[in-house]
Structure 1
Amino acid sequence: MSDENAIDNPLNLDIPDHLQYSEEHVWVDDSVSPAIVGITAYAEQQLGELVFIDLPDEGTRVEAGDEVLELESAKAVEPLVCPVAGTIRYVNHDAADDPSVVNNDPYGEGWLLKIELDDDEPELLDAESYAKIAQ
């Protein structure tokens, strides 16, 4: 794997170790404020080529477990289950305009939301724990 800061798993998916993960295949970078949220490479592969992303409004209040947006691909329409509570401060309009950004770079330019967290330490999985379920 080219990224020495990533964890390998049997599917050879990129799982950056500086992020935290939910069991619903959503990543959170809470090292910045507001925290950045997106879907994992595993989720992107399972969905296939995205054709539409229905983003929520900035300023929307979310609770952990809320379905905050929909990702539509040729295969399915799937909700994104937010793993953290807070207020959505930014949405990625570039990803909504061109959903392939998420397919091509789910951990970078393909981020989906920036959320001002209610809790500084959300209960999420580290990369090693997430790798065990992303199979």
Structure 2
Amino acid sequence: MGVNRVLLVCTGNTCRSPMAAALLAEKSDQLEVKSAGLQAFSSTSAAPHARIVVREYGASLDQHRSQPLTISLLEWADEVWTMTDSHAAQIQQQFPHYAEKITKLGDVSGYDEEITDPIGGDLDDYRRTAEQMNEMLEAYVKNRS
């Protein structure tokens, strides 16, 4: 059985992982997509710039509320995609039983890149991050077809 459930993970679950999740969900109705953060507080809205940029791609983060990474989310996921190698290493260290599920988004999509964190940046920083992720996600979906 292929990948059907993807969990995207970043630090705070207000910028990168929810943006990537929203973009991926728009690209494929064959995937269930969730996001979480390694240092996330529960129920924080997505960053305002993240909401704006995702809308530019036809997706929405209006209902997004941050959530911390949990064992139940790791169990739910077929694959866990992180934004950086550091995120992947941290999850593998904290949850070694799930190490085989964890991959950096850049590696999954055939790119050897980390996703730049736009937190604290301006709208153009968020647009650059979204463009980087969108390109990777399009490559993944195309290769999956």
TM-score by length of 1: 0.28
Higher normalized contact order (CA 8 Å, seq sep 6+, divided by chain length) = 1
TM-score by length of 2: 0.27
Higher strand share: 1
